[in-house]
Amino acid sequence: MTLLQTPIAAEKRTDRDEGLLEKATERRNRRTYLALLLPGLLGLLVSFVFPLAYMIRMSFNKGAPDGVIVETFTLDTYIQPLTDPYYWRVTLDTFQMGVTVGILCVLVSYPVALFLARSTSKYRGLLIAIAIAPLLTSAVVRTYGWMVILGTNGLINSSLEGLGLIDTPLKLTNNMTGVTIGLVEIFMPYAILAMISGFGRLSPQLEEAAGSLGASKFKVFTRVTLPLSLPGLLTAFLLVFVLAISTFITPRLLGGGSVQVLATEIYDQTTGLLNWPFAAALSVILLVLFGLIIAVYQRLTKKIGG
């Protein structure tokens, strides 16, 4: 009996040893992953999590007119924007601007992105580079460019006047129209990039298949191309929306002070009135807006199977 048992016992031990060894390797692997993640996590903690926590804490403080911050815990900073119709107006305008810019930007970028995604030309890489090249110049420079084009004596107005099409210059700057035009153009490269990467399920073969089954060019577009590009369109919209409602330069410069959105309001509160708690509260409201649209986005993508 003992003769028989010994080898079995030995076998058992090796099994357990192997199990232990596996676990040890696994633990070591996990430690390696953590070590690799650490720099990134630390960076995020320092540059994102702490400031965000600080900002949220700040929003419950009390701001005094001379810029003194009174350390306390109050909801006054929230009650004011939530009860004052002016801030409702600003929040609503911000949201509306985000949606308008998002939709227009997606509309004008879609044909470009579709062309680039489907192109088989050897110049495709170059064309994509050209499409996103505007990112090389800062939004400030491009905003000034739009001021020159859209201004009262700008390119568009002087051309139209020269052609005798209008008598009085169109009002294209210092209002929401100008801001919208500027933002749509400035965000186009982002929208195009987001769309190209979101068009993964599109393929010329699917369009050919639809055609061979009797679908006209229009039907191919509405039944195959458009549904399959929806995930890309949604992503682009989300990206542009988020960028638009958080941008400050273009609404300030092209809006010329007559366009008030949350971002410009926060800037004024921070640098002009030195009311940091109030600016922090407005920032939190902006964050909630982000959260809302992202929730809607996730609902939609689940629905369309992106």
Please give the residue ranges that form the binding site for another protein (CB under 8 A). Answer: 201, 203, 205-206, 208-217, 219, 223-224, 227-228, 304-305
Nearer CB in complex with another protein: 224/243: 224
Extract the tokens encoding 141.
């420079």
Pick between residue 174 and residue 225 the one whose CB is nearest to another protein: 225
Residue 204 vs 272, nearer CB to another protein: 204
Apex 199 CA angle, 195 and 205, nearest 5: 145
**Cβ at position 202, least distance to another protein in Å:** 10
In this structure, what are the phi and psi dihedrals at residue 115, rounded to the nearest 5 degrees? Answer: -60, -45
**What is the C-alpha separation between 284 and 262, in angstroms, rounded?**
10
Three-state secondary-structure class, residue 69 = strand
Which residue, 141 or 209, is less far from another protein as judged by CB? 209
Q: Which is nearer to another protein, 224 or 245 (CB)?
A: 224
Per-residue b/e over 109-122, b at no fewer than 16 CB within 10 Å? bbebbbebbeeeee
Least Cβ distance, residue 262 to another protein (angstroms): 37
Q: Min. distance of Cβ 243 from another protein in angstroms?
A: 28
Cβ 44 to another protein shortest distance, Å = 35
Task: Please name which of 289, 275, 299, 288 lies closest in space to residue 77, comparing C-alpha atoms.
Answer: 275
The whole-angstrom separation of Cα 9 and Cα 11 is: 5
CA distances (Å), 298 to each of 118, 142, 193, 205, 242, in order? 27, 32, 20, 29, 14
Taking the complex as a whole, the smallest distance from the CB of residue 198 to another protein amounts, in Å, to 14
The residue (of 251 and 306) whose beta carbon lies closer to another protein is 306
Residues in contact with 276: Cβ distance below 8 Å, sequence separation at least 6, in sequence order: 58, 61, 63, 67, 69, 269, 270
In the complex, minimum distance from the CB of residue 115 to another protein, in angstroms, rounded to a whole number: 19
